[in-house]
Amino acid sequence: MAEAERILNDRQPDKVIIFGGDCSITQVPFDYLKSKYTDKLGILWLDAHPDVAGPKDSSHLHEMVLANLLGQNPCSNITKVKHPFKPNEVMFAGLIEEDLRKMDKTCKKLNLKIASPEELAESSQPILNWIEENSIEYLAVHWDLDVLSPTDFRAILTAMPYMDLGCFPAAVGRMTLNEIGRILNDISEKTEIVGLGIAEHMPWDAINLRNVLSGISIFND
């Protein structure tokens, strides 16, 4: 995080793309973008989970990153942001409300805007309405790939071979890759995407193939 902040402050980009790692990857870049675009910037959080926990509920930064960006966890240099967002500047897309855990309840307490997978299956209109109602000119998009259904997209945690999804301890995404593509195209016509974080890419086949091949002698000579 310190190195990301150093690079951004040094290069001063107008737009930022972040790929790889867990959901915490967007904290520093989105904080930076907020300093640049101020109240004209909003966050679209494409995720099956809200990531709004606090230090009392979780020890995992990726579970509290959005709460940090909303200024909810100013207790340390790790969770504190310099330019917090207002609740109306954030919208969830693909969040599965019925599976919210105790640590997730901040999204309800702050009355954050939510559109379910079913609401977005055929139309991006709920997001477009939010953009218009809040005069959002620029968007930072957090795309946790686990917003996708594991039957539609295989390179995510919940698509791990032989996993019993009935035992998975959190919500399982229900959106499709084509739906997300349509949403990103639709919002690009209404506002300018200046930040895009793509998190939690888990290419199981590539990982497992590498692990098998690494034990074969020809690859170690």
d(CA 105, CA 82): 24
Indicate the range of 102-106, 178-182, 183-187 predicted with least confidence.
102-106
Other CB atoms within 10 Å distance of the CB of residue 13: 15
Report the share of the chain in percent with pLDDT over 70: 100
Residue 145 has pLDDT above 90, yes or no: yes
Average pLDDT over residues 147-154: 97
Residue 17 has pLDDT above 90, yes or no: yes
At residue 193, the pLDDT reads 98
Options 3.40.50.300, 3.30.1490.20, 3.40.800.10, 2.30.29.30; CATH for 2-219 is 3.40.800.10
- Report pTM: 0.95
pLDDT in tens, 112-121: 999 999 999 9
d(CA 37, CA 14): 9
At residue 120, the pLDDT reads 98
At residue 102, the pLDDT reads 86
Average pLDDT, the chain: 95
At residue 34, the pLDDT reads 98
d(CA 202, CA 158): 9
Q: How confident is the model at residue 24 (pLDDT cuts 50, 70, 90)?
A: very high
At residue 103, the pLDDT reads 86
Name the more confident of 116 and 99.
116
Average pLDDT over residues 96-106: 88
Q: How confident is the model at residue 154 (pLDDT cuts 50, 70, 90)?
A: very high
Q: How confident is the model at residue 213 (pLDDT cuts 50, 70, 90)?
A: very high
Non-local (6+) Cβ contacts of 96 within 8 A are 48, 49, 116, 117, 171, 172, 173, 174
